[in-house]
Structure 1
Amino acid sequence: MRIEHLEVRYLQIPLVTPFRTSFGTAYDKDTFVVRVVADGVEGWAECGAEADPLYSSEFLRGAEMVLREQLVPRVLALGGDVAAHRVASATAPVKGHHMAKHVLETALLDAELKLHDVSFGTYLGAERDRVPAGVSVGIMDSVPALLDAVDGYLEQGYVRIKLKIEPGWDVEPVRAVRERYGDDLLLQVDANTAYTLADARHLARLDPFDLLLVEQPLPEDDLRGHAELARRIATPVCLDESITSASDAATAIALGACSIINVKPSRVGGYLEARRIHDVARANGVPVWCGGMLECGIGRAPNLALAALPGFTLPGDTSASDRYFATDVTPAFELDDDGCVPVPTGPGIGVDVLPDVLEEFTVSVESLTLRGGPRG
């Protein structure tokens, strides 16, 4: 393929309810999407970075700068052979910046698959046409407010509940949810690096609640601490922020730092690396599930395709569109009666962008005009 045009479109989409984690509270989804035109075909992708470098070291404005000054020039240097699978090797000299690499690779992959009339699911190796949907519940002001929120999500049909936790909001909300809904509810918690190994005894207080997992309890660079924590608690340890590559996954599994992995394509540099992580985990008997970054439909569609691979045996954060947005920039994803979301089957990401809605939420549009060549 030959790239004809590449642009970044910043969006601000209101959330239906504020979403609070240990990092802070979000009221809007601030993101950017990349639109690429290659061989006359449009490709779209959503950047997973957030406005501030709290979940990871990457952030939106930084991701755009890296795209403009480093990644795009290196990919354009490929000339007329800009196949998506070549993006990783072309951009490998640039250390890190996985979310910037992800959005470029994904936009090109979307265009490439549309050219060949192939869906993301078919390309990645999906084996299901729908995936069970879990929902992530943010930190609330009170336990009664939390129970009201969980009531609503269960009534909608979600098959798994994930509670965000932090010191001071952990054991009691988990106890309240388990007591209200019983042992049959699939329940897990996500700490987003809010604890240290010194909190192991406290985290062990979650063991009686028969949780599916505790996600990323310790800082992302503390694999040794996670391995030690896994020996001290009965609840399975799942890693999220710690896993940025298939190599990271192999190391964490070998160390005993996790028994479950949350795969987020944006965090690991794209869907091709995400598939490699899936393959490593599956070869080692480690279940994986697909996490989310509050994506709009442009990012949610390919996540659903990934979640349909055979190793994704746990419900992911592949919620319906109305979990976050009153109006999405693509046709809305909806829950089936059995709590599943259909995997798109159209070419590429499988959904069309709604121009009027996209324009409504657009803050700015910037062409990725080169500012000199890449350094190094």
Structure 2
Amino acid sequence: MNIKEVHVYVIRSPLKKPFATHLEVVKERESIIIQLVENNGYKGYGEVVAFSSPWYTEETITTCLYTLRNFLIPMILDRTINHPDDLEWLFGNIRGNRMAKAGIECAFWDLYAKIQNQPLYRLIGGEKKEIEAGVVIASTSIKDALSSIEQVYDQGYKRFKIKIHPTNDQEFLAAIRAEYQDLPIMVDANSSYDILEIEKLRKLDEFNLMMIEQPFSHEDLVDHATLRNQIKTPICLDESITSFSMAESALKMESCDIISIKAGRVGGIREAIKIHNLCHGHSVSVWCGGMIEFGISKAFNLALASLSNFSFPGDFTSSNHYWERDLIMPGIHVQNGTIMLSDSPGLGYEIDVDVLSAMTSFYEIYK
């Protein structure tokens, strides 16, 4: 693969409804779309999933754009790349900036799969074609949370993730359980608790939860290990798992029972597969998390979730869940709580160039 052009699009689109956590309320989503064009005319697409402000990670749209322009894109132009795995060595002298790296790495995977005339999920060793879908309920009120559940309940989602924090956890969960006794529920705290609130977290055991995601700091492994030994509900790490090395440390310290893998956060598909294989070897289950992505990133996540050790439903919703129109055609559709993977080469979806153009607020081409 010899890259002759790199097209960079900064896009934005309003969400159908605000996505609320205790850290931020997202009303409009920005993203960076990367299009690679190689000498024979094949095109590969990737998505940089950083947010506009550094509420979720330190990377933002602005910092990723800077890193892409000044470092990563110059490294790949007019250079022969035999396989997407080669980028780990090529980008090795650039520390961090994993979301920026993932955007390019994923575009190379799409490109490589198209050249090989294979769907991405098969190329990476995926074993499942039908992926279980889970939905996120990110609401500021109990009324809105119950309404959000009701709106999607009939789609058969296999898991409902409820955003919580210390001031609303009991109230939210008690109200939801009163209406939906058997609903498969997990909760996501986005680091809103501290070690002094173990007793409060222990009380969540009564709600029969699948897991508690990231109760403590994104930089913590020690306190999570302490908590894990004092509650019955499984502990899942998300923001703490930024790389294979962090996942390895978490397993050695027994900080969690489950790990959420996000290719866009850990640096791309290769690093995500390494974490998957590590967890599989330690009999630790994984699932695929989401970050309010557009369809390109979600398609990569679906391919990743086809690997054998993805044991819980991921953050997968239909293309029309967050957006009036998504970037991909024909769109992702949840039916009876599952999504069927496409056998088309690469990501399995075409890019809707009209929607991409309408969403674009900034565009550059590098040759």
> Normalized against structure 1, the TM-score is what?
0.94
Shift in Å, 1:214: 0.5
Q: In structure 1, the residue corresponding to 2:63 is in which secondary structure?
A: helix
Aligned to 1:217: 215
Aligned to 1:374: none
Q: For 1:137 and 1:323, locate their aligned partners in 2 and report how far apart those are by CA, in whole Å.
A: 12
Q: In structure 2, the residue corresponding to 1:323 is in which secondary structure?
A: coil
The answer (yes or no) to whether the contact 1:216–1:239 under 8 Å persists in 2 is yes
The answer (yes or no) to whether the contact 1:75–1:91 under 8 Å persists in 2 is no
2:21 pairs with 1:33: no
| 2:302 counterpart (290, 299, 304) | 304
Q: In structure 1, the residue corresponding to 2:174 is in which secondary structure?
A: helix
Query: Counterpart of 1:257 in structure 2: which amino acid?
Result: S
Query: Counterpart of 1:214 in structure 2: which amino acid?
Result: I
Query: Counterpart of 2:142 in structure 1: which amino acid?
Result: V
2:146 pairs with 1:147: yes
Query: Counterpart of 1:170 in structure 2: which amino acid?
Result: D
The answer (yes or no) to whether the contact 1:305–1:344 under 8 Å persists in 2 is no
Aligned to 1:49: 50
The answer (yes or no) to whether the contact 2:3–2:76 under 8 Å persists in 1 is no
The answer (yes or no) to whether the contact 2:135–2:315 under 8 Å persists in 1 is yes
The answer (yes or no) to whether the contact 1:19–1:25 under 8 Å persists in 2 is yes
Q: In structure 2, the residue corresponding to 1:359 is in which secondary structure?
A: helix
Q: In structure 2, the residue corresponding to 1:212 is in which secondary structure?
A: coil
The answer (yes or no) to whether the contact 2:13–2:30 under 8 Å persists in 1 is yes
| 1:262 counterpart (255, 260, 276) | 260
The answer (yes or no) to whether the contact 1:139–1:169 under 8 Å persists in 2 is no
| 2:237 counterpart (229, 236, 239) | 239
When structure 1 is superposed on structure 2, of 301-310 and 66-75 the one drifting more is 66-75
Q: For 2:174 and 2:38, locate their aligned partners in 1 and report how far apart those are by CA, in whole Å.
A: 53
Query: Within 5 A, what are the aligned runs for 1:47-126?
Result: 47-76=48-77, 79-81=79-81, 83-126=83-126
Give CA deviations for 1:54-99 in whole Å, capped at 9, x if unaligned: 101111110111111122223347x223531111111111111110
Aligned to 1:372: none
The answer (yes or no) to whether the contact 1:111–1:348 under 8 Å persists in 2 is yes
Q: For 1:289 and 1:81, locate their aligned partners in 2 and report how far apart those are by CA, in whole Å.
A: 30
Give CA deviations for 1:126-175 in whole Å, capped at 9, x if unaligned: 111111100001032x2122111111121222121000112212111011
Query: Counterpart of 1:118 in structure 2: which amino acid?
Result: Q
Q: In structure 1, the residue corresponding to 2:315 is in which secondary structure?
A: coil
The answer (yes or no) to whether the contact 1:174–1:209 under 8 Å persists in 2 is yes
Aligned to 1:2: 2
Query: Counterpart of 2:50 in structure 1: which amino acid?
Result: A
Give CA deviations for 1:349-373 in whole Å, capped at 9, x if unaligned: 111001111111111111247xxxx
Q: For 1:95 and 1:268, locate their aligned partners in 2 and report how far apart those are by CA, in whole Å.
A: 12
Q: For 1:278 and 1:81, locate their aligned partners in 2 and report how far apart those are by CA, in whole Å.
A: 25
Aligned to 2:348: 350
> What percent identity do the matched residue pairs reach?
35
Structure 2: unaligned runs, 5 residues or longer: none
The answer (yes or no) to whether the contact 1:304–1:344 under 8 Å persists in 2 is no
Query: Counterpart of 2:238 in structure 1: which amino acid?
Result: D
Query: Counterpart of 1:152 in structure 2: which amino acid?
Result: Q
2:22 pairs with 1:13: no
Q: For 2:62 and 2:222, locate their aligned partners in 1 and report how far apart those are by CA, in whole Å.
A: 33
Structure 1: unaligned runs, 5 residues or longer: 370-376
Aligned to 1:134: 134
Q: For 1:24 and 1:368, locate their aligned partners in 2 and report how far apart those are by CA, in whole Å.
A: 34
Shift in Å, 1:302: 1.3
Q: For 1:358 and 1:316, locate their aligned partners in 2 and report how far apart those are by CA, in whole Å.
A: 25
Q: For 1:244 and 1:119, locate their aligned partners in 2 and report how far apart those are by CA, in whole Å.
A: 27
